[in-house]
């Protein structure tokens, strides 16, 4: 068994093109011996967002707190709420945004593809993370 305290997982500010105000905590990755799936916790400052991007990995999201939105490849924004879950299929263009005035926090799980580490995703377009 692996146990970690959330507060002990360092946050890494994502400074990639198209990203703003997003910090990632890589809770369980290949570095921890995960063979198939990674668990990441993402925090977005007010107005924070990812780039509009796509990648080979599917993503499952659980929104813990805040006011999230997902923008699709056509520019359509779907508002979500704390407690909502969402799925983004492989190669589906998307952007995660914090549309609230407070911090938005979410759990993001991804499969670890061959050669991957569970931190970075394969870049299809935009700035994958």
- DSSP codes joined into one string, 30-68: GGGT-SSEEEEEEEEEEEEE--SBB-SS-EEEEEEES-E
Q: Domain boundaries in the chain?
A: 6-111
Instruction: Tell which residue, 82, 86, 43, 50, has the closest CA to residue 66.
Output: 82
pLDDT tens track for 82-118:
999 999 999 999 999 999 999 999 999 999 999 999 9
CATH for 6-111, options being 2.60.120.10, 3.10.450.50, 3.40.50.150, 3.40.190.10: 2.60.120.10
Q: What is the pTM of this model?
A: 0.91
């Amino acid at each position: 068994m692996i146990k970690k305290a959330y507060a002990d997982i360092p946050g890494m500010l994502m400074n990639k093109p198209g990203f703003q105000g997003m910090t990632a905590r890589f809770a369980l990755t290949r570095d921890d011996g995960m063979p198939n799936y990674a668990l990441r916790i993402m925090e977005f400052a007010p107005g924070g967002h990812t780039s509009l991007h796509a990648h080979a990995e599917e993503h499952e999201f659980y929104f813990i707190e805040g006011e999230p939105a997902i923008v699709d490849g056509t520019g359509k924004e779907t508002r979500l709420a704390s407690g909502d879950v969402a799925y983004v299929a492989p190669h589906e263009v998307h952007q995660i945004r914090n549309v609230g005035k407070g911090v938005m926090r979410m759990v993001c799980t991804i499969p670890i593809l061959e050669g991957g580490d569970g931190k970075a995703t394969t870049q299809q377009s935009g700035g994958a993370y």
